[in-house]
Amino acid sequence: MINVLIVDDSAVVRQVLTEQLNQAIGFKVIGSARDPIFAMKMMEKQWPDVIILDIEMPRMDGITFLKKIMSERPTPVVICSTLTGNGAEATMQAMAAGAMDIITKPKARLKGFLVESSSQMLQAIKAASQANLSRLKKASAPPMPIKPKLSADAIIPERRSKAMDKTTDKVVAIGTSTGGTQALERVLTHLPRTAPGIIVVQHMPEQFTAAFASRLDAVCQVSVKEAESNDRVMPGKVLIANGGKHMLLRLSGAQYRVEIKDGPLVSRHRPSVDVLFRSVANAAGRNALGIIMTGMGDDGAKGLKEMHNAGAYTIAQDEKSCVVYGMPKEAVKLGAVDREVSLDDIPKVIMSR
């Protein structure tokens, strides 16, 4: 049973979420509070497994509360916030402070949205409850459809011809999900400007990828941006896949470029790591390095196997350093991984290949 505490100043949100969670098997709402001050009093009696937290609230804002929790008693937190003009930046601050996931809460038709998004909320809470918060530095999702789970075949066919010869141009493809925002920051901030070109799929709502890329760009030596179609993959540059769209690698003459593409959910995600990795296997073969990092589920495992079969060198973040050892575990089980390494060793591998 996952015990959940809801902290939101909206009575509608508290009521609807309480009803939805209490009806779901394996979830129990142990309390709801209209602001963090009331929440802290409740938590003195019973500590939750997961906290659902709004950002804008009276008396104490959600980010301040999150930082306090993470510094005193780290607890999985799922942000459920209405987007405002400053919402994206506020949410980036929350994820940097240790929030596990984001549920975008609209201003209009709120009750209907919460009911329709119950599976998304349940998935986010379940993933958060499994997090290893000892791997998060202290403060200083995608919908789950009922439709059949699609593979990368829905976006790009697998190429079965011989992998291309090795060249001097290298491509690093990274896939990650839960816990990935902090993990990516730790990796990218330790790379020099001479790092090879990097393309990244981080499971994240579409409203936040541009702000996430901008935040990373401000703290990294490498250049980081949200990817656009025809962007060139080149040394010293990191391209982050757009939330809500797939990102593919293609070879254009002698240059690697990315393509941003609409399409259905693949491995229950858009962008999908499987789609990215397959496109890298097809376009780059032995000239690529594939990295699968912390995250729940199995997105990326099959794609990494295809990269491995195409001659790419493939690594997985090890269990000890993962917030959620789900995606790497599935890749290891498939035989897709040449080597497991700690989070802190990933930059060394990138620069040595």
Question: Catalytic residue numbers?
Answer: 177, 203, 299
* Three-state SS annotation for 312-348: CEEEEECHHHCCCECHHHHHHHCCCCCEEECHHHHHH
Q: Give the whole-angstrom CA distance, residue 73 versus residue 138.
A: 10
Q: Give the whole-angstrom CA distance, residue 324 versus residue 302.
A: 18
Mapped onto helix, strand or coil, the DSSP state of residue 244 is coil
Of 192, 202, 245, which Cα lies nearest the Cα of 223?
A: 192
Map tokens 């919460």 to a residue. 114
Angle between helices 209-219 and 87-97 (to 10 degrees): 60
* Contacts of residue 112, Cβ cutoff 8 Å, sequence gap at least 6: none
Q: Give the whole-angstrom CA distance, residue 265 versus residue 142.
A: 9
* Three-state SS annotation for 45-99: HCCCCEEEECCCCCCCCHHHHHHHHHHHCCCCEEEEEECCCCHHHHHHHHHHHCC
Helix (H) / strand (E) containing 261: strand 255-261
Per-residue tokens: 64 = 């301040």
Q: At residue 339, what are phi and psi to the nearest 5 degrees?
A: -160, 140
Per-residue tokens: 127 = 């993933």
Per-residue tokens: 126 = 């379940």
Of 349, 341, 303, 348, which Cα lies nearest the Cα of 322?
A: 341
